[in-house]
Amino acid sequence: MKEQSKYYIINYRHRGAGYFAYLNAVFGGLKYCSDNNLIPIVDWSNPKVEYYDSEMGENPFDYYFDQELTVEEAIKHEHQYCPIDYENYPPGGQKIFRNKDVVININNSINKYLKIKPEILNSVKKEISEYKTLGVHCRRSDMGTYHPEYLFSRNTEDYFKKTMEIYEKYGFEKIYLATEETEIFEYFKSRIPEILIYQECFRIGRNDDHRIITNERKYHRYLMGKEVLIDSLNLSKCNSLLCSISGVSYGSIFFNGNKYDNVYYFDEI
């Protein structure tokens, strides 16, 4: 009789990170499970990540994904914990698209284990696939403070010019824009409304703001995670991607599974 696989509890013990810092760590855990015949169970409840909302449940991961068991159920079985110094975290600070093996392996693990809730999948923009669409992710905000080496520019117009250069050069029909900044979003929307696809979501008001976790919006913390996840999924459906180095662009590339025609980085064009 085949020995039953152990449960592997993925617990990212870091506070104050963005949604895709947590999720990309999960992706590494999924790959480890795939390589070692383990069943992943993700625990975002201890410590609780910033997207925790008491009315939504104790484990924020379960807001967005379906799991085989709850954490409480899994620990009653044979199990092990992901080590804090987890070595399978996808490599950061690089142009991840060029690491083909990492992208394909992570994508295979996502397809094997990750069950995104239907209400999130149903929010993916179908029109993206109806056109030759350039996905654009602009991250500026806190990059200048925390990761200045990755910051392309503080000037909104620079992002727009680079985007239109790629759009026109390669004959795209639409642009899907993902950005947390109102200033960048409104700039694009005022200039190219007829070709712009986007998600209606919460955006910060100034380019020096970081994530705003406190807000009067009902279920704000849950919605912050939902909206960035949908943005990443939308970007993954585009034909090509133009992006900053960030967790969101990493997530899009992993979801896409190396099927983009190309990935362009703002600091290289």
Whether residue 48 has pLDDT greater than 70 = yes
Contact of 176 with 128, CB cutoff 8 Å: yes
> In angstroms, rounded to a whole number, what is the distance separating the alpha carbons of residues 224 and 243?
20
How would you classify the pairing of strands 65-66 and 79-81?
A: unpaired
Residue 159: domain span:
121-268
Inside any domain, residue 82: yes
Q: What is the pLDDT of residue 4?
A: 60
Pair 166, 109 in one domain: no
Rounded to 10 degrees, the C-alpha dihedral 38/42/45/49 comes to: 140
- Band (pLDDT 50/70/90 cuts) for residue 2 is very low
**Which of 93, 117, 141 corresponds to the end of one domain?**
117
> Does residue 183 form part of some domain?
yes
Residues 72, 98 within the same domain: yes
Say how far apart CA 41 and CA 79 lie, in whole Å.
Answer: 10
Residue at a domain's end among 57, 86, 117:
117
Q: Is residue 2 part of a domain?
A: no
Do 141 and 228 reside in the same domain of the chain? yes
Of 117, 150, 171, which residue sits at a domain end?
117
Q: What is the pLDDT of residues 169-193, one digit of tens each?
A: 999 999 999 998 899 999 999 999 9
Task: Render pLDDT for 64-90 as a digit per residue (tens, 0 to 9).
Answer: 999 999 999 999 999 988 875 555 566
Are both 253 and 141 inside the same structural domain? yes
User: Prior bond to 47 cis, omega within 30?
Assistant: yes
Q: What is the rounded average pLDDT of the residues 143-160?
A: 79
Confidence at residue 132, expressed as pLDDT on a 0 to 100 scale: 98
Dist. CA 51–CA 71, nearest whole Å? 17
Q: Which of 35-49, 159-173, 205-219 is the least confident region?
A: 205-219
245 and 262 fall within a common domain: yes
* The total number of structural domains that make up the chain: 2
Confidence of residue 12 (pLDDT cuts 50, 70, 90): confident
Percent of the chain with pLDDT over 70: 86
The DSSP code for 27 is H
CATH number for position 192: 3.40.50.11350
Contact criterion met (CB below 8 Å) for 97 and 260: yes
Would the pLDDT of 130 be above 70?
yes
Average pLDDT in the chain: 88
Residues 91 and 150 in one domain: no
